[in-house]
């Protein structure tokens, strides 16, 4: 990363130089100057994008003939901190430098680099410099081996780029270390590489759902271009978008979103003989549903046969009653009954008809609130190599792909497309839903017409505005990149009501908010940093500066681990406070028992913790890097800390017992799997209007209807596997009901 950073800075410096001297006839390798002698720039507004940390960062800049007048950044797809938080500083650096040659913001390296790259592109546009053609690239032929940061906690990507006749001839990724994202990496590799080669541009769009892996591939090719003697900033020509419209009609059922609930709906509709069209925005099917342990299944016949000689293994009435008690109302009793009493049969339906395969956990995992309900939670069986057992990561795709292909083959009219993003419902003059309008990755508009629509877009955790509107704050996410609330928005656009939008997002994991992907810390040091965040033996302070006590999901206060309770914390995060003395003590005497026992599977970043009492001589280095990445905030006094945390000084002082001195606030953030609040549906999964009447040909499943099983202000129904179970239950019901819809 460092090497690339330097290369880019020098490329940027070269461009700035050109900017200063463009009154003469300037040219550079691969560029042709066409600026006028009177002015530096052609006045106007220019836009360019580049791959950032988790999205394509878009820069728009307004130029007069002699200066950059205004800069705007769209970093909405980047992490809230440090990515989005860096935006203002990056804008002022560009304005001050009047060029793309800026320092960037430390801790937000990937976002800064993307802004610089896009700005370099804009500078070239404003100066009338044409992008390189293959003939003028000046690239030296050869094969260049490069390494870049990739996705995940330890992610790293290496590949060979072959330049032949001045063109990108081949790109071969030789290693990608983050196995947990293996699938998304493969998708980016399969789809993006041919597009880069065809367009001879690293300005092609990233693959939806695989933006980080796409960005890494583009960065890797960019490094090779630079090393081959070119200027990668000149290889970012965006690919022209199609303006065509394609119409497809005659379907019985249109499924929007092919994650778990969408595929399961598709399968059930196809099984009933319907003609089905499915669309998926990402480059691959599966959504978050391929990253899970598995669904809850109460008294599945297959599980009973395998484990209990045909005997029931759980009392379903108990589960139902506990559930109604938990949500505190029987308003949605008819739907919750389906969630409970259909969970086993829905799993069996898909095992028997679509070859899904599950095992019981045999006590490996318990239900969160009722630990003895261990057998209610099943897991997907391993893949053929038996290597992907109980692993978090997109590992169950093969089961979903198999089911979808089997369902597609059930009717010759059935079809589905990936990289096709639903935009809106199409309605006729009377407001009746007749189809879905969608955009393909190449810009083509698709109008798909059919009798019914099933919304299965996986909730809204990826939509910042909706998160703030319904939950008051965004949340750090694990997975969930394409879940932007499109289904809920589309349902609402035709009068659909919502239910329990204030249910807390699913959070079972906590750690520092900003994963440090560089090697500035070893994996063991990263584990120590995370342990400082998740330990339960230090004072905890809310984002408002007030004391944070642990309140578990049953509402009782406990001094236990916080990975679930954090869903209740304001802003889904809190600060763990250390005085200077505490840090000195760790240096001399090591971690406490609680700190050394902090959970380190996810939070460990691949490292392990030292035993309690082993001196941590490098604690100051760990804290310093933590500070750099906004995981730790240091205050030289309570007043200083209050100012940095943007909290009331008196409140913070009272919380800290009024004892002044140096403090380190280590941020503990909840990592969310998804949202729960959703469209309101009835027991047929029909979307309901505010007056309670169903929209007959509109259905919602999975996270787009999960709210009906939950309650505002509470964590989601906390029995392990419930969310995934709902994809099976709601998918089977909606697919069957949609197929049966006649329009009469």
Ligand X SMILES: Cc1cc2nc3c(=O)[nH]c(=O)nc-3n(C[C@H](O)[C@H](O)[C@H](O)COP(=O)(O)OP(=O)(O)OC[C@H]3O[C@@H](n4cnc5c(N)ncnc54)[C@H](O)[C@@H]3O)c2cc1C
CB of 71 or CB of 180, closer to ligand X: 180
State yes or no: cis peptide before 545, omega within 30 of 0: no
In the complex, what is the shortest distance from the CB of residue 561 to ligand X, in angstroms, rounded to a whole number?
18
In the complex, what is the shortest distance from the CB of residue 4 to ligand X, in angstroms, rounded to a whole number?
30
CB of 149 or CB of 291, closer to ligand X: 291
SS3 121: helix
Listed residue (739, 740, 729) closest to 260, CA to CA: 729
Structure tokens at 434: 């007749």
CB of 31 or CB of 434, closer to ligand X: 434
Q: Give the residues lining the site for ligand X (CB under 6 A).
A: 209, 256-262, 279-282, 287-289, 291-295, 392, 421-422, 456-458, 478-480, 482-484, 486, 673-674, 702-703, 721-724, 727
Strand partners, 27: 32
CB of 104 or CB of 479, closer to ligand X: 479
In the complex, what is the shortest distance from the CB of residue 289 to ligand X, in angstroms, rounded to a whole number?
3
CA atoms within 13 A on the CB side of 327: 26
Which residues are CB-neighbours of 571 under 8 A, at least 6 positions away? 472, 473, 542, 543
State the burial class of residue 358 (Cβ atoms within 10 Å of its Cβ: 0-12, 13-18, 19+).
buried
In the complex, what is the shortest distance from the CB of residue 499 to ligand X, in angstroms, rounded to a whole number?
15
CB of 366 or CB of 615, closer to ligand X: 366
Q: How far is CA 409 from CA 354, 548, 676, 711, 728, in A?
A: 12, 55, 33, 40, 20
In the complex, what is the shortest distance from the CB of residue 291 to ligand X, in angstroms, rounded to a whole number?
4
Of all residues in this chain, which one has the CB nearest to ligand X in the complex? 259
SS3 503: coil
The answer to whether residues 632 and 664 touch, using CB atoms and an 8 Å cutoff, is yes
In the complex, what is the shortest distance from the CB of residue 701 to ligand X, in angstroms, rounded to a whole number?
7
CB of 191 or CB of 258, closer to ligand X: 258
In the complex, what is the shortest distance from the CB of residue 700 to ligand X, in angstroms, rounded to a whole number?
9
Distance (Å, whole) CA 224 – CA 236: 14
CB of 267 or CB of 480, closer to ligand X: 480
Written as one string, the DSSP assignment of 305-331 is HHHSTT---S-HHHHHHHHHHHHT--T
The answer to whether residues 523 and 601 touch, using CB atoms and an 8 Å cutoff, is no
Place of tokens 């928005």: 489
In the complex, what is the shortest distance from the CB of residue 79 to ligand X, in angstroms, rounded to a whole number?
16
CB of 262 or CB of 450, closer to ligand X: 262
239: phi then psi, degrees, rounded to nearest 5: -85, 135
Which residues are CB-neighbours of 126 under 8 A, at least 6 positions away? 41, 42, 44, 46, 61, 63
CB of 436 or CB of 528, closer to ligand X: 436
CA atoms within 13 A on the CB side of 275: 13
In the complex, what is the shortest distance from the CB of residue 565 to ligand X, in angstroms, rounded to a whole number?
18
């Amino acid at each position: 990363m460092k090497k690339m950073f330097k290369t880019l800075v020098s490329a940027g410096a070269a461009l700035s130089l050109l900017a200063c001297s463009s009154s003469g006839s300037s040219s550079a390798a691969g560029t042709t100057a066409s600026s006028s002698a009177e002015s530096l720039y052609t006045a106007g507004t220019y836009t360019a994008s580049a791959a950032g940390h988790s999205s394509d960062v878009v820069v728009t800049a307004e130029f007069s003939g002699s200066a950059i007048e205004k800069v705007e950044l769209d970093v909405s797809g980047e992490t809230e901190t440090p990515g989005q938080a860096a935006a203002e500083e990056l804008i002022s650096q560009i304005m001050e430098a009047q060029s793309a040659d800026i320092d960037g913001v430390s801790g937000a390296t990937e976002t800064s680099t993307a802004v610089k790259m896009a700005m370099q592109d804009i500078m070239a546009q404003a100066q009338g410099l044409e992008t390189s053609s293959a003939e003028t690239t000046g690239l030296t032929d050869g094969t260049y081996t490069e390494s870049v940061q990739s996705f995940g906690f330890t992610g790293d990507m290496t590949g060979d780029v072959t330049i032949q006749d001045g063109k990108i001839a081949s790109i071969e990724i030789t290693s990608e270390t983050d196995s947990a994202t293996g699938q998304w990496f493969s998708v980016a590799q399969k789809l993006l590489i041919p597009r880069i080669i065809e367009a001879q541009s690293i300005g092609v769009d990233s693959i939806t759902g695989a933006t980080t892996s796409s960005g890494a591939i583009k960065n890797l090719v960019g490094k090779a271009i630079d090393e081959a003697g070119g200027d990668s900033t000149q290889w970012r020509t965006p690919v022209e978008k199609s303006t065509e419209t394609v119409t497809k009609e005659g379907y019985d059922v249109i499924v929007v979103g092919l994650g778990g609930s969408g595929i399961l709906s598709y399968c059930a509709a196809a099984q009933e003989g319907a003609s089905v069209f499915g669309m998926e925005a990402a480059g691959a099917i599966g959504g978050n549903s391929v990253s899970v342990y598995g669904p809850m299944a109460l008294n599945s016949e297959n599980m009973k046969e395998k484990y209990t000689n045909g005997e029931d293994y759980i009392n379903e009435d108990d589960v139902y009653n506990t559930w109604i008690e938990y949500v505190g109302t029987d308003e949605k009793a008819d739907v919750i009954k389906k969630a409970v009493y259909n969970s086993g049969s829905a799993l069996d339906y898909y095992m028997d008809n679509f070859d899904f395969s599950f095992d019981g956990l045999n006590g490996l995992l318990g239900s969160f609130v009722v630990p003895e309900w261990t057998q209610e939670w099943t897991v997907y069986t391993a893949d053929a190599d038996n290597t992907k057992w109980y692993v978090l990561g997109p590992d169950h795709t093969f089961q979903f792909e198999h089911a979808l292909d089997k369902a597609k083959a059930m009717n010759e009219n059935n079809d589905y497309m990936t990289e096709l993003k639903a935009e809106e419902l199409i309605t006729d003059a009377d407001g009746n839903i007749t189809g879905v309008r969608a955009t393909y990755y190449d810009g083509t508009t698709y109008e798909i017409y059919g009798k019914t629509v099933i919304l299965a877009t996986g909730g809204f955790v990826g939509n910042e505005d909706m998160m703030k509107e319904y939950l008051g704050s965004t949340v750090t996410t694990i997975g969930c990149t394409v879940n932007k609330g499109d289904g809920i928005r589309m349902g609402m656009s035709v009068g659909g009501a919502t239910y329990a939008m204030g249910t807390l997002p699913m959070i079972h994991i906590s750690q520092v908010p900003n994963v440090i992907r560089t090697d500035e810390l070893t994996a063991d040091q990263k584990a120590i940093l995370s342990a400082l965040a998740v330990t339960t033996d230090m004072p905890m302070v809310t984002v408002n500066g007030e004391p944070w006590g642990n309140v578990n999901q049953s509402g009782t206060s406990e001094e236990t681990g916080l990975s679930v309770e954090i869903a209740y914390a304001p802003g889904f995060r809190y600060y763990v406070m250390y005085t200077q003395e505490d840090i000195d003590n760790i240096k001399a005497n090591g971690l406490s028992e609680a700190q050394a026992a902090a959970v380190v599977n996810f939070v460990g970043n691949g490292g392990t913790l030292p035993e309690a009492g082993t001196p941590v001589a490098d604690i100051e280095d760990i804290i310093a890097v933590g500070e750099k990445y906004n995981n730790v905030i240091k205050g030289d006094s309570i007043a200083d800390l209050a100012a940095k945390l943007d909290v009331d000084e008196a409140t913070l002082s009272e919380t800290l017992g009024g004892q002044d001195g140096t403090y380190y606030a280590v941020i503990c953030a909840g990592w969310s799997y998804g949202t729960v609040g959703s469209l309101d549906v009835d027991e047929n999964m029909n979307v309901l209007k505010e007056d309670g009447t169903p929209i007959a040909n509109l259905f919602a499943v999975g996270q787009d209807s999960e709210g009906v099983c939950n309650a505002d202000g509470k964590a989601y129904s906390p029995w392990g596997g419930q969310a995934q179970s709902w994809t099976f239950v709601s998918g089977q019901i909606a697919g069957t009901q949609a197929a049966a819809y006649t329009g009469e």
